[in-house]
Amino acid sequence: MTKTLFLLRHAKSGWDDPVARDFDRPLNRRGEKAARTVGQWMASQGVTFEHVIASPAVRVIETLDGLWAGYGRKLEPTWERRIYLASSATLLDVLREVSDAHDSVLMVGHNPGMEDVVVDLVADDGSSPLRDEVEVKFPTAALAQLEIDIDHWADIGEPVAQLKRFVRPRDLDPSLGPDAE
């Protein structure tokens, strides 16, 4: 049996808004556009998932709002506070609690945790050029798709995943690239 894990880093947030806590930072316009663009791409590629787990940070909530607008349908996430700025170990703990009734899961959160989960689950044996790209940078609103050779989410943790796709907003729209501002 195989489980599919989609990891989405929140879209670009604004540093110009005066907020008291990092947790409350909203998306900027580029982030809003990137989230919609990734959602549109997911819909066009037939990307599906059965369960969504997300950090309750404002920038993640707004990323999902944009994603759903582009995707054309909305799934209600399970809000999980432990995902906020979590390490790979914590994110894997959250995933181990997912019901085996779900074969495909979308987790939406923050770096460096998102990047580290990919690096931890995909073997560093030179067979995955996409893994090397993730290790260089997992930018905002990027989406990674992993196929994991496990029967139970509780077994996640060994480097037995294959990184099937790694899509960055700039791959879909060059105006969303780092040099576009």
- Tens of pLDDT, residue by residue over 46-82, are 999 999 999 999 999 999 999 999 999 999 999 999 9
Residue 42, domain CATH? 3.40.50.1240
Instruction: Give the pLDDT confidence score for residue 181 in this predicted structure.
Output: 45
Taking the model in full, what pTM does it have? 0.96
Higher pLDDT: 19 or 63? It is 63
Domain count, the chain: 1
Burial 15-41 (b: 16+ CB within 10 A, else e): eeeeeeeeeebbbbebbbbbbbbbbbb
Q: Is residue 145 part of a domain?
A: yes
The answer to whether position 181 is within a domain reads no
Q: Is residue 35 part of a domain?
A: yes
Q: Is residue 13 part of a domain?
A: yes
pLDDT, one tens digit per residue, over 114-132 is: 999 999 999 999 888 999 9
- Please state whether the peptide bond connecting residue 112 to the residue before it is cis, i.e. omega within 30 degrees of 0: yes
Q: For residue 51, what are the domain limits?
A: 3-176
Q: How far is CA 68 from CA 65, 72, 88, 94, in A?
A: 5, 6, 26, 23
The pLDDT confidence band at residue 17, using thresholds 50, 70 and 90, is low
Segment 145-174, tens digit of pLDDT: 999 999 999 999 988 899 999 999 999 999
Whether 64 is covered by a domain: the verdict is yes
Cα–Cα distance measured from residue 161 to residue 88, given in angstroms and rounded to the nearest whole number = 15
